[in-house]
Amino acid sequence: MNLLVDIGNSRVKWLLHDNAENGFRSSGAMLYDKPNMPALFYEHWDHLDCPDRVLVSNVSGPNIADILDACVEKEWHVEAEYVKTEAFSHGVQNAYSDYCKLGVDRWMAIIAAWQRYRRYEEAICVVDCGTATTIDGISESGQHMGGFIFPGYTMMQEALLNNTSNINTVRQIIPSITFSNTTEQGVNSGCYVAMFAAINRVVTSMKDDHGGQLRCIITGGNAELVLEQLAAEFEHEPDLVLHGLAVYSGQKQ
């Protein structure tokens, strides 16, 4: 039994993976709340059986890693293992010349998407709509093609509101694609359209480059927000990073 942990910029997600059955037993998520993280870890994990391994994808830095390390050591006497981005792994060649600079969460999502969909022998587009929005391409042969990174839906709104003197408004959470007659809805609509329009443009370009054959995968906390506005058909995989960790745990080589 492996505990798989995805530490993002705003949430911590986890899955308990049953090695014998190659399936997931239980799962959960918690908001990133640094002062209360020790209590949150114990609250969510205290009922779990002792895992054989704890595998972690962490993009939030060493402080939360130290908290998690102390928690799993105290609870189960297990040492957490932090996966790292590699030049090549599980059939995928990293496009970055300095491969370590590719975020490990993106690498896990890429590995998971390739392992799950490579049988279709199509290029793959992986979109992660989280704190940041990332788009990565994988060729039919498993060559990572590189990617795009831009602010996520919430971050775009916050950047606009925090860096303009004449927009004193509250960030909206209900998206719209209609013309707006208030500043609040204008910010909301603009950021929403910018996000899904960028995704649509990249997908169109990839389809042109690959003869229209493209497998599209989307993950991240804002995935459901944009799904209905995407022109291509997307497979929604909410736990793609965690599935990448499952691959690294040795279940799928």
Between CA 183 and CA 252 the distance in angstroms is 50
Query: Nearest CA to 9 among 152, 170, 208, 212?
Result: 152
Neighbours of 236 (CB within 10 A): 12
Distance of CA 151 to the CA centre of its chain: 13
CB atoms within 10 A of CB 33: 12
Which residues, including other chains, have CB under 8 Å from residue 195's CB and lie 6 or more apart?
129, 133, 152, 153, 156, 222, 226
CB of 177 closer than 8 Å to CB of 246: no
Task: Clarify whether 105 is annotated catalytic.
Answer: yes
Q: From the candidates 6, 105, 136, 239, give the one annotated as an active-site residue.
A: 105
Residues noted as catalytic? 105
